[in-house]
Amino acid sequence: MKNIIELENVSKSYPGFQLDHACLLVKEGTIVGLIGENGAGKTTLMKAILNIISTSGKIKIFGKEYQNQEKEIKQDIGVVWDDSFLSEYLNPKQINVVMKDLYPTWQEEKYFSYLKEFHLPENKLIKDFSSGMKMKLKIITAISHQPKLLVLDEPTSGLDPIVRSEILEIFRQYILEDETRSILISSHITSDLEQIADYTIFLHQGRVLFDLPTADLLENYGMVKCSEKEVQTFQREDYICYRKEKYQYEVLVANKEKFRKKYKISTIDKPTMEEIMLFYVKGERK
């Protein structure tokens, strides 16, 4: 399985913030979710991957480096940012005319097929689209030149559950059509990533805290509810962090079965991705 994205010790400094020696891999045929609180560095990381900002460290896309092959690399990337790159005074039919002049791999027939599948009118101005319609159009436009990599920043933010489900289905279809493709998707809606992400990368204060298979993350992590006295009996290497609630303590562990056997605990809850993220951000450590 080839590496689509390779980051090695990538750093970028701004006043009050530093992307700190980020290392990560995105393999072909995978959907990778990027999570973290506001200001964690997700957008900075994605801009580094797209060579929008200058950084230190090493970045390879499709095994190539931007210094020598930027145009070739970017022809194979589809990008969707929160703010639209499409003029509000164009309609989807006019978008097709613009895009087929920009991309030699643009597939006009596929584009109009997507418009029909997701009920987007060809002749209606984009300014008159709903938020969900605009996002579906941006995604359809991004994938209709058949990129090998999709980079998406908050594509389901602010959308209702039905539209979000439709958009997630677009991503699934995109990968199923060609298993050499990959998606990197940044989102605060962690429940969406639980459904589609093969791997999850958690960024906190400019540092990558973990890069794990999503299934392993959700299956192996556990949340122990206990008393303060019980917390004192746990060895530090056996848990990640804890937090104090009104009547009890909650402890996050990375291997719930190992923890269960060692401390003879019968009940360990299964945390959501959002709860895991909150533990890392808000939790305490001895």
Per residue in 9-22, pLDDT (tens digit) is 999 999 999 999 99
What is residue 79's predicted lDDT score, i.e. its pLDDT?
Answer: 93
* Burial status of residue 21 (CB atoms within 10 A of its CB: 0-12, 13-18, 19 or more): middle
Query: Taking the model in full, what pTM does it have?
Result: 0.92
138 and 194 in a single domain? The answer is yes
DSSP three-state, residue 261 = helix
CATH number of domain containing 184: 3.40.50.300
Beta-carbon contacts of residue 278 (< 8 Å; ≥ 6 apart): none
Spatial separation of the C-alpha atoms in residues 155 and 175, rounded to whole Å: 16
pLDDT tens column, 241-278: 999 988 899 999 999 999 999 999 989 999 999 999 99
Contacts of 75 (CB under 8 A, 6+ apart): 103, 104, 105, 145, 147
Who has greater pLDDT, 1 or 214?
Answer: 214
Same domain, 226 and 211: no
Residue 84 reports pLDDT greater than 70: no
- Strand 222-226 to 56-61 pairing: unpaired
pLDDT digits (tens, 9 = 90+) for 161-214: 998 998 899 899 999 999 899 999 999 999 999 999 999 999 999 999 999 999
Same-domain status, 226 and 184: no
Same domain, 24 and 95: yes
Domain boundary among 216, 238, 261: 216
User: Would you say residue 68 has pLDDT above 90?
Assistant: no
Hey, what are 25's tokens?
A: 């891999």
Question: Same domain, yes or no, for 277 and 203?
Answer: no
| Domain extent at residue 110 | 3-216
- Reported as a single tens digit per residue, the pLDDT across 124-168 is 999 999 988 998 899 999 999 999 999 999 998 888 899 899 889
Instruction: Quote the number of domains for the chain.
Output: 2
48/31 same-domain check: yes
> In terms of domains, do 108 and 226 share one?
no
Clarify whether residues 50 and 139 are in a common domain: yes
For residues 101 and 171, membership in a common domain is answered with yes
CB burial of 38-63 (b: ≥16 within 10 Å; e: otherwise) equals eebbbbbbbbbbbbeeebeeebbbbe
- Residue 278 CA to residue 151 CA, distance in Å, equals 25
In a shared domain, residues 59 and 125: yes
Last residue of a domain, one of 191, 216, 241: 216
If asked whether residues 195 and 231 sit together in one domain, one would say: no
User: How much is the average pLDDT of 22-48?
Assistant: 94
